Structure 1
Amino acid sequence: MDLCEAKLELKQLLSRVKSGDLSRLLQWVRESDDLDELLSDNRRKILQNISEDLRGSLPQSAMLPSESTALSKMQQSSNPTVHVDSFLYDEDEVDSLCDEGSLSRSYCLSCGSTRTAPLDFLSHSFSIPELHFLFESVLPDLSGRVLVDVGSRLGAVLYGGYVFSSASRLVGLEISEEFVKLQENIVQKYTMTDRIQVLHSDVRLQNVLLQNADVLVLNNVFEYFLPLEEQIGAWSFIMENFRKKGSLLVTVPCLQESLDTLQMPLPPRWVEELPLDYDVYLGKDTDPDALRQIHLYRVL
């Protein structure tokens, strides 16, 4: 049964439900855990296993002492911000950490007071539902194509691309040697070496790779990790070298927001934004607001 046939059959089924029960049935579909088994996916289980392995190798913050620039910028934020990596911790796991006192969702506005305000949570990785959305709803079939993830960090995009897509080559660029080793250990353990490669390199040294890439992923990649002048240089390098017609660019946040922060103009006739359908159900742990932060562009 294809999608059109399934839609027709579902409409016919709903038309036979008593009018008084229809709204309750639809509410059950939206909120019940009973349907989660239908959405169970072995590919997700592989990613969950990888996530568990990585949690055992990292501090709870998933931030390393060497990331002094990122830590400093988070501390300087107008609202207190903590890093909670979405690939490592889903909402249920965050709730568990809060319940046991390892993490808090709020901070005190005045020491010793009951006045509190919510903390801002920041993630430098896609969650598993976001990876599912990226490779099955955002990007087309990647058979024979090369995907490059700039600032691959834990490698979430690479692992997601391996299990959810047929990309022929998935390349991670990471300037932290510690994170490169972490990714290489996972790639070896899960026998993903046939399609995944992690390079210990700055993107600004990879002009040939960018010129040949079919998909480029930039997820919160420069703002927290590079001084302002270097961010401008990195974006300029990308705009000069990622030029192959029809190539796809995935960004979080949108290009305009990133460039406006740097007071950089978007080059004319470089890319066009493509519309995305964010109204997809990928399980109860999907955050619709997080999906809407993902933007897709095509090089002109």
Structure 2
Amino acid sequence: MSDDNMIHIKGRFLELFSELDEVEIDYIDKWISSHSYKKDLQNKSALNSSEKCLIKIANTIKKLVPFEAELPSENIVPPTIGNLADCTKESTCHIDEFLYDHNTVEDLTQQGKIKRHYCVDCNSRNIKELTLISHSLSRQTLLYIFKFLLPKDLENKQFLDLGSRLGAVIYGAYYLSNATNIVGVEINKECCDLQDTIVGQYSMDNDRIKIINADILDRSDIVQNSDIIVINCLDHFVNVDIHREIWYFLKKHLKKGSYVITVRSIADTLIALDMFEELSNWLSISKPNQMENEMFFDMEDCNEIYLYTVN
């Protein structure tokens, strides 16, 4: 390495260290002197490598779906209750977070490919900011789930994604965990075909990953055998009555001790559905299982992801 490169690297370190106080610098000094940073660096490199696999898949999916990542055969309707009840087709814009991360969205906005405002009454200046929503979990959120929330060892466990759509969560489970069985249940056939295409193109192990085209309410067997289930927001895909039915169904069939991951608090969801009193004691909030990886994540970016245990 040249002297110029070393000077540049030292400058980057000093820029970071200049923002630390003496106590923080002493801590960093001990961290480096003990060589424990090397293990942390290996873990960070492994995370980056896994994310690159997901980025490749995302880039492939971009070529197979419309820009808004909503397939023609999907029936996506704005919710009528809960904290998303004010989301209308006019006031929201779907930007899939698995396909387009925050930096990409900013770039596309600067290029004019994504509009961030809409006109309230068709006059030029009476505008409001659009609400950006995503029907998929971001790559960073998937890393957070599998490398921070869930246990490190998922061997002999079955992982279920309820409503797998483009497959983001099941790809995350495949590349970020050692879960023995990974199941995506999706009612839309076009979405299932897309997932099958990705699974085949990336030579994923068909003995380990399964895409099932079905209504989850017809597959109690899968739910009963699952140890972890991810439930993204169902509000845009089912009406209120079916939404309630799904939660009653899960309460009946999920086994004690299994994990439930949701993208907003179960309390908020059940209160909106007027089910909180009935199901309030069903789930308990669970502590993250891989706290040693906390340094790799911005907790504020992941504060809407919740891990529960079935009582």
Task: Give the structure 2 partner of residue 167 of structure 1.
Answer: 179
Task: Give the structure 1 partner of residue 110 of structure 2.
Answer: 99
Confirm or deny: 8 A CA contact 1:171 1:196 kept in the other structure. yes
Task: Give the structure 2 partner of residue 261 of structure 1.
Answer: 272
Q: Which amino acid aligns with 1:21?
A: S
| Deviation of the 1:116 alpha carbon | 3.0
Task: Give the structure 2 partner of residue 293 of structure 1.
Answer: 304
| Deviation of the 1:108 alpha carbon | 2.6
User: Over residues 70-119 of structure 1, what are the superposed CA-to-partner deviations in whole Å (9 max), with x where a residue is unaligned?
Assistant: 26878962681111110000112112221222211222334232343221
Determine whether 1:189 maps to 2:186: no
1:98 partner SS? helix
Task: Give the structure 1 partner of residue 212 of structure 2.
Answer: 199
Confirm or deny: 8 A CA contact 1:145 1:169 kept in the other structure. yes
Confirm or deny: 8 A CA contact 1:273 1:296 kept in the other structure. yes
Q: 2:167, 2:303 → 1: CA distance?
A: 22
Confirm or deny: 8 A CA contact 1:278 1:292 kept in the other structure. no
Q: 1:72, 1:294 → 2: CA distance?
A: 20
Structure 1 unmatched runs, 5+? 1-16, 30-35
Q: 2:245, 2:195 → 1: CA distance?
A: 26
1:250 partner SS? strand
Determine whether 1:77 maps to 2:50: no
2:256 partner SS? coil
User: Over residues 34-89 of structure 1, what are the superposed CA-to-partner deviations in whole Å (9 max), with x where a residue is unaligned?
Assistant: xx999442211110000000001111111123333426878962681111110000
1:28-107 counterparts in 2 under 5 A?
A: 39-40=44-45, 41-70=48-77, 77=87, 80-107=91-118
Q: 1:249, 1:38 → 2: CA distance?
A: 26
Q: 1:37, 1:81 → 2: CA distance?
A: 40
1:170 partner SS? strand
| Deviation of the 1:22 alpha carbon | 4.2
User: Over residues 123-174 of structure 1, what are the superposed CA-to-partner deviations in whole Å (9 max), with x where a residue is unaligned?
Assistant: 1111111100100100002111000000001111111111110000100000
Determine whether 1:241 maps to 2:253: yes
Q: 2:139, 2:76 → 1: CA distance?
A: 27
Q: 1:90, 1:171 → 2: CA distance?
A: 25
Q: Which amino acid aligns with 1:195?
A: R
Confirm or deny: 8 A CA contact 1:172 1:198 kept in the other structure. yes
Task: Give the structure 1 partner of residue 4 of structure 2.
Answer: none
Confirm or deny: 8 A CA contact 2:260 2:309 kept in the other structure. yes
Q: 2:202, 2:246 → 1: CA distance?
A: 32
Q: 1:112, 1:150 → 2: CA distance?
A: 42
Report the TM-score when normalising by structure 2: 0.78
2:283 corresponds, among 253, 263, 271, to 271
Task: Give the structure 2 partner of residue 21 of structure 1.
Answer: 18
Report the TM-score when normalising by structure 1: 0.81
Q: 1:97, 1:37 → 2: CA distance?
A: 33
Q: Which amino acid aligns with 1:147?
A: F
- Distance change in 2, residues 1:297/1:209 (3 Å): same
Q: 1:201, 1:99 → 2: CA distance?
A: 40
Structure 2 unmatched runs, 5+? 1-13, 29-40
Q: 2:56, 2:76 → 1: CA distance?
A: 30
**Number of residue pairs aligned between Structure 1 and Structure 2:** 270
| Deviation of the 1:290 alpha carbon | 4.1
Q: 2:21, 2:101 → 1: CA distance?
A: 28
1:219 corresponds, among 221, 232, 243, to 232
Determine whether 1:135 maps to 2:146: yes
1:23 partner SS? coil
Identity rate of aligned residues, in percent?
32
Confirm or deny: 8 A CA contact 2:78 2:235 kept in the other structure. no
